[in-house]
């Protein structure tokens, strides 16, 4: 590096640290550590207290501690497994150290009369509390001192030991101290108002907490040093999403004014009136798409609130302005359902519709692609196949993305690029039936305007949810028999297609055979993701028509399926699913005026977390309340489906824990844009460099 040039730790590869060769560099890369800055931001997830010796008499089960004593016995013992058992005493008590893996040299070193200091977790054993495979040293004149600070434990990977991680972080901290290469990017007035320490001090504290640090605070993630980093990361995330929106607003979009023709015809053909919430959201969308900048709007609505109809109204605005509209759904069954439900509504109006998925092949596919490219197809419904190579639109004016959280941001942007016509981009309407807590909306969707359909159509009855152990299976089957005899229909939902002893789940195909034996007088259907699209469509149509009374299904029926006569649902192994997914499944019943029931058929024993989750389902039909609880229990990555899409990979922040910071983040982002605009790019680069969704809008 040339003399006088400032060191940028974001550009210094970890290979420049002592002891990092190609193999270690590869292991570090698997946990996303490529540079010295990555290493500094790779923070401990917990700490050990090795700063003091605990009397052996005070050693408890489940507690990690340093103990020191004299070896009073050492022998190889034979039980179910051969082990080396070493007994030590210190005057306050006696404990055993047990080693299942040991060498002859190790055994010889641990001889009677030697003094030993060791660290480990107390566990109940045959003769009281013992420590399995402790870290230890036989004390001599040159023995190590006790730690003078808490010992960090880092997220790691196979073959990358904690001692090595700590050595590397020590080097990184020394490099940071010498170079002063990590400028504070929070304005001084912000740090003063919120009483924040410097970024360098925060990193030093969290990697090497002093002996008087409050361990409980650190483990809860609420220490001021942690809040300082969380705030900066949330700020960088918010600034980035708002910048994406500003960039999008610089693009042009086709204005799609309401010509008050097609929507009027559609509404006149419906046997019901729109709810006030649907009318309000419809007007918000209509105002957006009249503009010459691309709409980016998220519509949230609970199961059955009528989001699809609002989206169709927006599509009609595009069509009557001679543009195409596309509706993209995450699964074939939902996309097919949209297509089949919209045909009888739109075909009488003379609107040309096509359906596209990856399973449509040959001449049928060629015909669909030609209709799209020529503009003959006014409304295109499909899966992720819509943004594949070779798929082209003539004039795409509106994109509707259903169940947004199932798609990566890059997939949504890829479809938007399909509509790029001479620098003009289509409007985007994002829909989700998974209500997103406001905390997450502010953080994860700061680039979108948000609308909420917070009203269900009149006449919808709450679903009565019942928790039942699998031991009462026969009673449930009898209940289905009686319901079907009374002219009702039912779902039986399994979580797997094929039998798996390891997961102890009843498979859909096994259940189908079982139900045919038990309920021979009832018409039973089977649907799962491995069926061909035509087969799935035929089965769903038969169920909707009432020709099938009991439908055995996997979670492919989670969203979009609308059969008002279905009033009973059984979900097997509900403990395996998230609350949001259970709520979605339950939303398939209660769509008519009759009383509806959902039976959660669980396998005993349930864990405490599973009990808590299932009791929430029993207590509430409110999707937003359930989403809040799901967020508390499972975290944002699971709720938004982003473990796969990479939308929210936070290094330090926790959206639930740090919710109280969000209003300040929003406030200060505006102040920084006005007073310190030069901080924005370095902040985004520091925290979000390399994240796919931040590269290109």
d(CA 613, CA 581) in angstroms, rounded, equals 12
How large is the average pLDDT for residues 155-168? 90
Specify whether the CB–CB gap between 553 and 559 falls below 8 A. no
pLDDT band at 556 (very low <50, low <70, confident <90, very high): low
Q: Which residues pair with 489 in a beta bridge?
A: 566
Find the DSSP H helices in 321-445.
Answer: 332-346, 362-374, 409-418, 438-444
Specify whether the CB–CB gap between 99 and 133 falls below 8 A. yes
How large is the average pLDDT for residues 34-59? 90
Percent helix, strand and coil across the chain, each to the nearest 5 = 45, 20, 35
What local confidence, expressed as pLDDT, does residue 478 receive?
A: 94
Q: Which residues pair with 73 in a beta bridge?
A: 87
What digits encode the pLDDT tens for the residues 229-238? 999 999 998 8
Give whichever of 180-184, 469-473, 553-557 has the largest mean pLDDT: 469-473
pLDDT band at 444 (very low <50, low <70, confident <90, very high): low
pLDDT band at 510 (very low <50, low <70, confident <90, very high): confident
What local confidence, expressed as pLDDT, does residue 449 receive?
A: 85
d(CA 595, CA 599) in angstroms, rounded, equals 13
How large is the average pLDDT for residues 574-603? 85
Query: Residue 497 pLDDT more than 60?
Result: no
What local confidence, expressed as pLDDT, does residue 646 receive?
A: 36
What digits encode the pLDDT tens for the residues 239-285? 988 887 888 788 899 999 988 899 999 999 988 899 999 999 999 99
What local confidence, expressed as pLDDT, does residue 692 receive?
A: 41
Query: Residue 149 pLDDT more than 80?
Result: yes
Query: Residue 506 pLDDT more than 50?
Result: no
Q: Which residues pair with 629 in a beta bridge?
A: none
d(CA 272, CA 267) in angstroms, rounded, equals 8
Helix count and strand count (H, E) for the chain? 25, 21
Task: Give me the percent of the chain exceeding a pLDDT of 90.
Answer: 44
How large is the average pLDDT for residues 385-395? 88
What local confidence, expressed as pLDDT, does residue 381 receive?
A: 95
Where b means 16+ CB within 10 Å and e means fewer, 376-409 reads: ebbbbbbbbbbbeeebebbbbbbbbbbbbbbbbb
Query: Residue 330 pLDDT more than 90?
Result: no
Give 630's DSSP letter.
Answer: H
Those residues with Cβ within 8 angstroms of residue 389's Cβ, 6 or more apart along the chain or in another chain: none
pLDDT band at 80 (very low <50, low <70, confident <90, very high): confident
What local confidence, expressed as pLDDT, does residue 560 receive?
A: 52
Higher pLDDT, 652 or 691: 652
C-beta contacts of 195-204 below 8 A and 24+ residues apart: 195/224, 196/224, 196/227, 196/228, 196/231, 197/224, 197/225, 197/228, 199/228, 199/229, 199/232, 200/176, 201/225, 202/226, 202/228, 202/229, 203/40, 203/41, 203/173, 203/176, 203/229, 204/173
What local confidence, expressed as pLDDT, does residue 491 receive?
A: 94
Those residues with Cβ within 8 angstroms of residue 311's Cβ, 6 or more apart along the chain or in another chain: 299, 327, 400, 402, 429, 431
pLDDT band at 502 (very low <50, low <70, confident <90, very high): very low
What local confidence, expressed as pLDDT, does residue 554 receive?
A: 81
Q: Which residues pair with 115 in a beta bridge?
A: 70
What local confidence, expressed as pLDDT, does residue 209 receive?
A: 95
* Of 47-51, 202-206, 402-406, 518-522, the least confident: 402-406
What local confidence, expressed as pLDDT, does residue 382 receive?
A: 92
Query: Residue 545 pLDDT more than 60?
Result: yes
* Of 71-75, 146-150, 229-233, the least confident: 146-150
d(CA 381, CA 329) in angstroms, rounded, equals 8
Closest CA to 162 of 31, 13, 9, 54: 31
* Of 201-215, 388-402, 432-446, 679-693, the least confident: 432-446
Query: Residue 35 pLDDT more than 60?
Result: yes
Give 179's DSSP letter.
Answer: H
What local confidence, expressed as pLDDT, does residue 406 receive?
A: 55
Give whichever of 370-384, 414-428, 438-452, 583-597 has the largest mean pLDDT: 370-384
How buried is residue 471: exposed, middle or buried, by Cβ count under 10 Å (0-12/13-18/19+)?
exposed
Q: How far apart are the first and last CA of the chain?
A: 34
How large is the average pLDDT for residues 428-456? 75
56: tokens are: 């052996």
What local confidence, expressed as pLDDT, does residue 695 receive?
A: 42
Higher pLDDT, 56 or 416: 56
Taking residue 551's Cβ as centre, other Cβ atoms within 10 Å add up to: 26
How buried is residue 41: exposed, middle or buried, by Cβ count under 10 Å (0-12/13-18/19+)?
buried
Output the CA–CA distances (angstroms, integers) from residue 224 to 202, 237, 386, in the order listed. Answer: 8, 20, 47
What digits encode the pLDDT tens for the residues 312-325? 999 999 999 999 99
d(CA 135, CA 600) in angstroms, rounded, equals 46
Query: Residue 426 pLDDT more than 90?
Result: yes
Query: Residue 181 pLDDT more than 60?
Result: yes
3-class secondary structure, 356: strand
d(CA 569, CA 7) in angstroms, rounded, equals 62
Specify whether the CB–CB gap between 71 and 109 falls below 8 A. no
Give whichever of 284-288, 649-653, 688-692 has the largest mean pLDDT: 284-288
Higher pLDDT, 580 or 664: 664
Query: Residue 539 pLDDT more than 60?
Result: yes
How large is the average pLDDT for residues 497-511? 53
Instruction: Tell me which H or E stretch contains 96.
Output: strand 94-99
What digits encode the pLDDT tens for the residues 625-664? 887 777 677 655 444 443 333 345 678 888 778 878 888 9
How large is the average pLDDT for residues 295-320? 90
What local confidence, expressed as pLDDT, does residue 415 receive?
A: 66
Query: Residue 208 pLDDT more than 60?
Result: yes
Those residues with Cβ within 8 angstroms of residue 262's Cβ, 6 or more apart along the chain or in another chain: 316, 317, 319, 320, 349, 351
Q: Which residues pair with 308 in a beta bridge?
A: none
175: tokens are: 């490099």
What local confidence, expressed as pLDDT, does residue 697 receive?
A: 39
Give the domains, in start order, of the chain with CATH numbers.
Answer: 14-47+153-213 (no CATH), 52-146 (2.40.50.140), 262-453 (3.40.50.300), 463-620 (3.40.50.300)
Query: Residue 557 pLDDT more than 70?
Result: no
- CA 668-643-151 angle, to 5 degrees, is 75
Instruction: Tell me which H or E stretch contains 310.
Output: helix 307-320
What local confidence, expressed as pLDDT, does residue 496 receive?
A: 61
Average pLDDT along the chain: 85
Q: How many residues does the chain have?
A: 697
Taking residue 206's Cβ as centre, other Cβ atoms within 10 Å add up to: 22
Its pTM stands at 0.67
* Of 441-450, 490-499, 556-565, the least confident: 556-565
3-class secondary structure, 372: helix
pLDDT band at 464 (very low <50, low <70, confident <90, very high): very high
């Amino acid at each position: 590096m040339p003399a006088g040039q400032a060191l940028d730790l974001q550009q210094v590869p970890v290979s420049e640290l002592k002891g990092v060769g190609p193999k270690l560099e590869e292991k570090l890369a698997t946990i996303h550590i490529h540079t010295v800055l990555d290493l500094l931001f790779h923070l401990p997830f917990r700490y050990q207290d090795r700063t003091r010796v605990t009397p052996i008499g005070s050693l408890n089960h489940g507690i990690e501690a340093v103990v020191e004593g004299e070896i009073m016995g050492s022998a190889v013992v034979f039980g179910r497994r051969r082990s080396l058992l070493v007994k030590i005493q210190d005057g306050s008590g006696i404990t055993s150290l047990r080693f299942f893996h040991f060498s002859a040299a190790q055994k010889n070193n641990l001889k009677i009369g030697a003094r030993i200091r060791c660290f480990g977790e107390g566990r109940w054993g045959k003769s009281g509390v013992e420590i399995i495979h402790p870290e230890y040293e036989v004390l001599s004149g040159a023995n190590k001192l006790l730690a003078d600070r808490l010992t960090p434990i880092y997220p790691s990977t196979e073959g990358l030991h904690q001692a090595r991680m700590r050595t590397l972080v020590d080097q990184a901290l020394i490099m940071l101290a010498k170079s002063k290469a990590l400028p504070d990017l929070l304005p001084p007035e912000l740090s003063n108002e919120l009483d924040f320490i410097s970024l360098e001090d925060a990193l030093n504290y969290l990697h090497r907490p002093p002996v008087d640090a409050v361990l409980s605070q650190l483990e809860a993630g609420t220490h001021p040093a942690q809040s300082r980093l969380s705030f900066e990361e949330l700020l960088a995330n918010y600034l980035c999403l708002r910048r994406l929106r500003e960039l999008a607003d610089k693009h042009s979009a086709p204005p799609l004014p309401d010509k008050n023709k097609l929507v009027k015809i559609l509404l006149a053909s419906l046997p019901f009136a729109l709810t006030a919430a649907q009318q309000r959201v419809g007007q918000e969308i209509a105002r957006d798409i009249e503009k010459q900048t691309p709409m980016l709007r998220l519509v949230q609505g609970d199961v059955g609130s009528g989001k699809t109809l609002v989206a169709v109204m927006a599509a009609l605005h595009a069509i009557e302005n001679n543009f195409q509209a596309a509706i993209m759904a995450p699964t074939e069954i939902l996309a097919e359902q949209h297509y089949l439900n919209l045909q009888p509504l739109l075909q009488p109006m003379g609107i040309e519709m096509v359906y596209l998925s990856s399973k449509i092949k040959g001449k049928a596919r060629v015909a669909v692609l030609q209709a799209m490219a020529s503009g003959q197809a006014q409304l295109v419904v499909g899966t992720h196949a819509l943004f594949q190579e070779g798929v082209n639109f003539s004039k795409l004016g509106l994109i509707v993305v259903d169940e947004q959280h199932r798609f990566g941001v890059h997939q949504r942007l890829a479809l938007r690029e399909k509509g790029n016509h001479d620098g003009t981009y289509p409007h985007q309407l994002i829909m989700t039936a998974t209500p997103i807590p406001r905390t997450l909306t502010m953080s994860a969707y700061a680039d979108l305007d948000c609308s909420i359909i917070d009203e269900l159509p009149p006449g919808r009855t709450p679903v009565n949810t019942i928790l039942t152990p699998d031991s009462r299976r026969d009673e449930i089957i009898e209940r289905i028999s009686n319901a079907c005899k009374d002219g009702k229909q039912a779902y039986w939902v399994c979580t797997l297609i094929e039998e798996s002893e390891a997961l102890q789940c009843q498979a859909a195909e096994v259940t189908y055979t079982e139900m045919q034996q038990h309920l021979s007088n009832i018409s039973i259907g089977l649907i799962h993701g491995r069926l061909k699209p035509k087969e799935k469509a035929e089965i769903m149509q038969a169920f909707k028509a009432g020709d099938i009374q009991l439908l055995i299904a996997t979670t492919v029926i989670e969203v979009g399926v609308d059969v008002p006569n279905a009033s009973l649902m059984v979900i097997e192994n509900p403990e395996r699913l998230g609350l949001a997914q259970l709520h979605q499944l339950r939303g398939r019943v209660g769509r008519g005026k009759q009383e509806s029931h959902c039976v959660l058929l669980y396998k005993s024993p349930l864990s405490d977390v599973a009990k808590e989750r299932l009791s929430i389902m029993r207590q509430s039909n409110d999707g937003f309340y359930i989403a809040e609880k799901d967020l508390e229990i499972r975290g944002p990555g699971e709720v938004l489906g982003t473990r796969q899409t990479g939308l929210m990979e936070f290094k330090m922040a926790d959206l639930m824990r740090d919710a109280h910071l969000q209003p300040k983040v929003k406030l200060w982002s505006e102040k920084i844009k006005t007073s310190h605009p030069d901080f924005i790019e370095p902040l985004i680069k520091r925290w979000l460099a390399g994240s796919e969704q931040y590269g290109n809008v």
